[in-house]
C-alpha cells in the first residue's frame, strides 16, 4: 500500500515534469525567438499589443490606466501643477499679510485699552480729589458761622448751593436757613425736599 502511494506521487511529478519540458519551456522559447525576430524587423510588439488590447473592452480600461503619458501631456500636467502651486503660494502670502494686519490691529487695541485704562485711573484720581475737596468745602461751611455762610449761599448757583446744603449736618443747615431771607429759605427748603424724594 505504501508502494502505491509512492508510485502515484511519482506519476504526478512525472506528469508535471513532462508538461514543463514538453509544453511550457518550448512555448516560452518560441515566444522569445518571435520577439527577437520581430524587434529586428522593426516591429514594436508591445505597441501592437496595446493597439490590439485597446480593442478588447475589458483590457482597454486596464491599458488606458497603465499607459504612460506622453512627454507633452506630462509637461502640460506639470505646468498646471506649477500654476496651482503659485496660486497656493499667493494665497498663503495673502493670508500672511492678513494675519500681520490682524496682529497689528490687536496691538493697537491693546495700546488703546491701556490708554483708556490710564485715563480711567486719572479720572478716578481726579474724582477722588474732587470728593476730598468738596468734603473740605462742606467742613468749612460747617465750621463757619451761619451769619457768614448764609450770604455766600445766596450768591451761589442753585445747584452748587443745593449740593453744599444737602451735605451739611442738620444743626449747621438749620442755622444757615435761619439766617437766610425767608424767600431764599423757602426756595432751598423746597429744593432739598424735592432732592430727597
Residue range 39-49, pLDDT digits in tens: 888 887 777 77
- 117-139 pLDDT, tens digit per residue, is 999 999 999 999 988 888 888 88
Q: What angle do CA 54, 59, 62 make, to 5 degrees?
A: 100
| Alpha-carbon gap, residue 71 to 8, rounded angstroms | 58
Cβ atoms of 50 and 63 closer than 8 Å: yes
How many residues appear in the chain?
197
The structure's pTM equals 0.41
- Provide the residue ranges of all domains of the chain, joining segments of one domain with +: 14-67, 70-129, 144-197
Grid coordinates belonging to 153 = 449761599
Amino acid at each position: 500500500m505504501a508502494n502505491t502511494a509512492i508510485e502515484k506521487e511519482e506519476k504526478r511529478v512525472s506528469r508535471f515534469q513532462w508538461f514543463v519540458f514538453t509544453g511550457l519551456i518550448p512555448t516560452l522559447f518560441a515566444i522569445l525567438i518571435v520577439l527577437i525576430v520581430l524587434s529586428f524587423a522593426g516591429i514594436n510588439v508591445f505597441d501592437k499589443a496595446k493597439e490590439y488590447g485597446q480593442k478588447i473592452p475589458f483590457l482597454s480600461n486596464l491599458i488606458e490606466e497603465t499607459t504612460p503619458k506622453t512627454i507633452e501631456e506630462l509637461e502640460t500636467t506639470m505646468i498646471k501643477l506649477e500654476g496651482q502651486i503659485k496660486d497656493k503660494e499667493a494665497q498663503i502670502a495673502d493670508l500672511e499679510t492678513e494675519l500681520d494686519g490682524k496682529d497689528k490691529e490687536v496691538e493697537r487695541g491693546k495700546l488703546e485699552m491701556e490708554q483708556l485704562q490710564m485715563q480711567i485711573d486719572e479720572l478716578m484720581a481726579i474724582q477722588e480729589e474732587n470728593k476730598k475737596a468738596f468734603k473740605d468745602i462742606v467742613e468749612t461751611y460747617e465750621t463757619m458761622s451761619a451769619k457768614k455762610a448764609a450770604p455766600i449761599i445766596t450768591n451761589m448757583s442753585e445747584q452748587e448751593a443745593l449740593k453744599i446744603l444737602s451735605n451739611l449736618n442738620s444743626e449747621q443747615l438749620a442755622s444757615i436757613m435761619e439766617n437766610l431771607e425767608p424767600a431764599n429759605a423757602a426756595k432751598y427748603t423746597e429744593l432739598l425736599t424735592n432732592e430727597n424724594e
